[in-house]
Structure 1
Amino acid sequence: MTGELQRVATARRLLAELGVTLADLVAHDNQVGLPTWADYLPQVIAAAGPGAGRTYGTYWARMATAWGSRTLLEVAASDIEAMQHAMAGTARSRRNNRSGRHAGEHVIAAARAVYNRAIADGLIPATASPAHKVAKPRRLPNTRRALAPSELIEINTTARTSGNDTILDALLLRLHTETACRRGGALGIRRADLDPDRCLVRLREKGNTLRWQPLSPALAACLVEHAAARGAVLPTDVLLRYRDGRALTSRRYDHLWNRLGQHLPWVAEHGISTHWLRHTTLTWVERHFGYGIARPYAGHTDTTGPATTYIKASLQEVATALAAMTGQPHPLATP
């Protein structure tokens, strides 16, 4: 035992003379074999999927530029905090801007996504992630609200009387108002996802959720006519299309709300977007039919809270709420 203690004392003395600590040696061992940010980020992007790429792509590109030559553990929590403040300070100013708060939050989330992948791949221990040592800013209350009936009428009237494709714009507004679907859900609809006989549309939305959503008979007929007129013939063809037959992209939504904001200043002032239609519809359903119906109407599949087990609504109940909201009978609605 005495010899062991002497060897330990000798080792400590040598390390002290070299100016090296045991922590330095452990850190060095952890760094051996670690990829650099430039090498590892493409692997993260490939595994993340298109949704995360859209949300975090800008921030990942910024990180690759700033930290590309460093290994994953050569980036400190202070480096991430510095980028958080820098991105928040240079965030694009909008009417509903919150001093770059969301940009700063996304920096941390983007960094955590990289380190979560590294932990899952066994490259670093969970306790070593610098991104998880940076606290996210507290999320402020959402400023979106349900639109008043008069506001909804103004938006629809303006969409139908301006622009270069009023038929398409009116159809989009009606689709989102009836189904409360998200933009991604609408853009992902294929011809095979439309069931005009039962007045249903199949929606694929975030979290890889899949559901059949009721449509009014009038909207179902308009979607069939739209598909036939614009070249959506095969089952796998994208349903929503431009006048020239090209599949619709998210740019159409940007164009639509920019135009509405030019004609209706209050739309631009409040930053109203397609997601406000979702709030409007779901608020109406919740007020008239309760939370148990509004939850499946929204496509929510979370199971938070013990009560959710007992409030599962049927497709027929969702169709009944739609029929009441639109004033049109639905083949699946209950009396």
Structure 2
Amino acid sequence: MTTKPDRVATARALLAHLGLSAADLTSPGVFTVPTVADYLPAVVAAASPGTRCTYGSSWRRLAAALGDRRIDAVRTSDLEALMRQAITSARPHRNSRGGRHAGEHLIAAARAFYNRAIADGYLTAGDSPAHRIRKPRRLPNTRRALTPDELSDINSAARSGGNDIILDALLLRLHTETACRRGGALALRLIDLDTEHALIRLSEKGGTQRWQPITPMLASRLSDHAQARGAAAPTDALLRYRNSQPATYRRYDLLWARIGRQLPWVATQGVSTHWLRHTTLTWVERHFGYGIARAYAGHTDRRGPATTTYIKADLHAVATALAALTGRPHPLATSAPAVS
């Protein structure tokens, strides 16, 4: 059969576009689909540090159960079985939801795994077994804004015991003023504190960064705390234990467990640091509106009505809300009506 020149040219152009040569089509093993265990290191290497931290345990569970399977041989039922195991074996916590979060987390991790396989050309989007599974339905959130009396009781309990009440008090004050997440607080470095303008630079979800106003009093106390506990280089952690080691998530667990022993309702309702975020942002939204609350929270997503694109607030507006919330002046705040 005679080969038409135009077809040859088209084939060569397609191979070039794919980064292949004619020899690659006859080379053994070029298109061999890896097993889950063999492919996982590539997924981990391509993931961001935050993604590795978030999905690492679920990826290891996936490799332990299905590591010898080719990634295109894993069935939807295999992943559903793993999801059920994750739900039933989830360790109960103060704010547990019957293992639903563990099941949802495993499916999210499996989807991240298969998203990489799709991007690498091993599968098409329609072939992914993880994307054919419906995540467990989320139950309504039980978090709420704390009342002023409840917040006062929590702060009093934090200062009445424990082996590091200075750090505990700083954590509660920091989260109450900024509504930041735990990861944002623990990521703070000496270079992220601007005492002159009473600002901290928060690095949070999705690699986002923003400057957040804090009261000059808190800025001064954070600076004194860091220097007293050995922070010297610009990249040294701001929040530190008494032995000069950077604070970790474990501190929050110990803090709320201790407060829960003193205030039973805290343990019963599963109050956590994120409740402080709800408390502050609810207050800001009620008194200053959605746009400023959105900026205060550091939300940058574009979901929701198109008008959210135009509802923006600058740093001065956030500083003004902080001044009203705390009753303390801020160097970047503009004049605003008094808030009762």
Letter in 1 for 2:307: A
Letter in 1 for 2:195: P
Alpha-carbon distance in 1 for matches of 2:306, 2:86: 40
Secondary structure in 2 matching 1:72: coil
Alpha-carbon distance in 1 for matches of 2:179, 2:271: 15
Q: How many residues align?
A: 306
Query: What is the aligned partner in structure 2 of residue 127 from structure 1?
Result: 126
Query: What is the aligned partner in structure 2 of residue 213 from structure 1?
Result: 212
Alpha-carbon distance in 2 for matches of 1:311, 1:53: 34
After TM superposition, give the deviation of residue 51 of structure 1 in Å.
2.3
Alpha-carbon distance in 1 for matches of 2:182, 2:45: 23
After TM superposition, give the deviation of residue 95 of structure 1 in Å.
4.1
Distance 1:95 1:183, change over 3 A: closer
Letter in 2 for 1:309: T
Instruction: Give a deviation string over 1:52-89, Cα, whole Å, max 9, x none.
Output: 23332222111111111111011100111111112111
Query: What is the aligned partner in structure 1 of residue 264 from structure 2?
Result: 265
After TM superposition, give the deviation of residue 303 of structure 1 in Å.
2.0
Alpha-carbon distance in 2 for matches of 1:152, 1:210: 28
Query: What is the aligned partner in structure 2 of residue 9 from structure 1?
Result: none
Q: Which shifted more, 50-59 or 118-127?
A: 50-59
Alpha-carbon distance in 2 for matches of 1:186, 1:306: 31
Distance 1:247 1:94, change over 3 A: closer
Q: How does 1:271-290 map to 2 (within 5 A)?
A: 271-290=270-289
Query: What is the aligned partner in structure 2 of residue 313 from structure 1?
Result: 313
Alpha-carbon distance in 2 for matches of 1:97, 1:253: 16
Secondary structure in 2 matching 1:84: helix
Query: What is the aligned partner in structure 1 of residue 114 from structure 2?
Result: 115
Instruction: Give a deviation string over 1:91-115, Cα, whole Å, max 9, x none.
Output: 1123433221111111211111110
- Tell me, yes or no, if structure 1 residue 34 matches structure 2 residue 72: no
Query: What is the aligned partner in structure 2 of residue 252 from structure 1?
Result: 251
- Work out the percentage of aligned pairs sharing the same amino acid: 66
Secondary structure in 1 matching 2:162: coil
Alpha-carbon distance in 2 for matches of 1:191, 1:95: 33
Alpha-carbon distance in 2 for matches of 1:56, 1:266: 32
Alpha-carbon distance in 2 for matches of 1:97, 1:225: 37
Letter in 1 for 2:88: G
Distance 1:173 1:311, change over 3 A: same
Query: What is the aligned partner in structure 1 of residue 334 from structure 2?
Result: 334
Instruction: Give a deviation string over 1:110-140, Cα, whole Å, max 9, x none.
Output: 1111100100111111111011111112222
Q: How does 1:15-54 map to 2 (within 5 A)?
A: 33-54=32-53
Query: What is the aligned partner in structure 2 of residue 227 from structure 1?
Result: 226
Query: What is the aligned partner in structure 2 of residue 12 from structure 1?
Result: none
Point out the structure with the larger helix share. 1
Alpha-carbon distance in 2 for matches of 1:92, 1:276: 22
Instruction: Give a deviation string over 1:125-163, Cα, whole Å, max 9, x none.
Output: 111101111111222221111111111111100111110
Query: What is the aligned partner in structure 1 of residue 11 from structure 2?
Result: none
Q: Which shifted more, 248-257 or 197-206?
A: 248-257
Alpha-carbon distance in 1 for matches of 2:148, 2:317: 24
Alpha-carbon distance in 2 for matches of 1:142, 1:55: 21
After TM superposition, give the deviation of residue 309 of structure 1 in Å.
2.4
Secondary structure in 1 matching 2:72: helix
| Structure 2: runs of 5+ lacking an equivalent | 1-29, 336-340
Secondary structure in 1 matching 2:202: strand
Query: What is the aligned partner in structure 2 of residue 10 from structure 1?
Result: none
RMSD, aligned α-carbons: 1.5
Letter in 1 for 2:331: P
Alpha-carbon distance in 1 for matches of 2:250, 2:155: 19
Alpha-carbon distance in 2 for matches of 1:93, 1:164: 26
Q: How does 1:196-207 map to 2 (within 5 A)?
A: 196-207=195-206
Q: How does 1:87-236 map to 2 (within 5 A)?
A: 87-236=86-235
Alpha-carbon distance in 2 for matches of 1:100, 1:170: 32
Alpha-carbon distance in 1 for matches of 2:118, 2:94: 39
Report the TM-score when normalising by structure 2.
0.87
| Structure 1: runs of 5+ lacking an equivalent | 1-30
Secondary structure in 2 matching 1:56: helix
Report the TM-score when normalising by structure 1.
0.88
Alpha-carbon distance in 1 for matches of 2:292, 2:184: 20
Instruction: Give a deviation string over 1:194-238, Cα, whole Å, max 9, x none.
Output: 111111111100111010000111101111111121111221111
